[in-house]
């Protein structure tokens, strides 16, 4: 079981694009057809997760549980997952505390200041001249810091963790 945490309360500059999460889900399931993907987050992430599931083709192995779990249940699920893929968020830090293999995606925030504190975490950060900007909206209007992190880069990082 893989867990995707697509939300970030801070805003869009900390959220890897939904279509990238969808492509990652398709790629993971192409290599591991029996795998299950749980989309975890708050109730405010539910529509985002639904969009990811829809873009991935509404595959039966993808489950949108955003807003449907308590924090205790989310922690328990994270504790038994094969890997977690997350933006810079609270659930990322929970996975780090539990020493769960994870890929943490950083855009506008600085992984030097808020990294997942775990030797089982791989941080993906492009270190562009415009980042970290620490803004809630991209001042340049392109979100390259997140858009240019491909699903293949994340998949390769997941595979390198195992």
The pTM (predicted TM-score) of the whole model is 0.95
Number of separate domains in the chain: 1
CATH, residue 118:
3.40.50.2000
Dump pLDDT digits (tens) for 89-98. 999 999 999 9
Residue corresponding to tokens 């492509």: 23
Range of the domain at 8: 2-161
Helix (H) or strand (E) holding 125: none
Helix (H) or strand (E) holding 117: none
Q: How far apart are CA 158 and CA 117, in angstroms?
A: 17
Dump pLDDT digits (tens) for 82-129. 999 999 999 999 999 999 999 999 999 999 999 999 999 999 999 999
């Amino acid at each position: 079981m893989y867990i995707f945490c697509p939300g970030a309360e801070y805003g869009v500059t900390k959220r890897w694009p939904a279509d990238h999460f969808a492509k990652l889900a398709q790629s993971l399931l192409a290599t591991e057809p029996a795998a299950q993907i749980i989309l975890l987050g708050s109730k405010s992430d539910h529509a985002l997760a639904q969009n990811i599931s829809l873009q991935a083709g509404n595959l039966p192995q993808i489950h949108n549980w955003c807003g449907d779990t308590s924090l205790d249940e989310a922690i328990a699920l994270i504790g038994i997952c094969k890997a977690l893929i997350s933006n810079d968020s609270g659930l990322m830090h929970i996975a780090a505390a539990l020493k769960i293999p994870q890929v943490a995606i950083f855009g506008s925030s600085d992984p030097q200041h808020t990294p997942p504190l775990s030797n089982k975490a791989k941080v993906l950060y492009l270190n562009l001249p415009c980042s970290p900007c620490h803004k809630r909206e991209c001042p340049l209007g392109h979100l390259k810091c997140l858009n240019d992190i491909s699903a293949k880069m994340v998949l390769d990082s997941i595979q390198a963790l195992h």
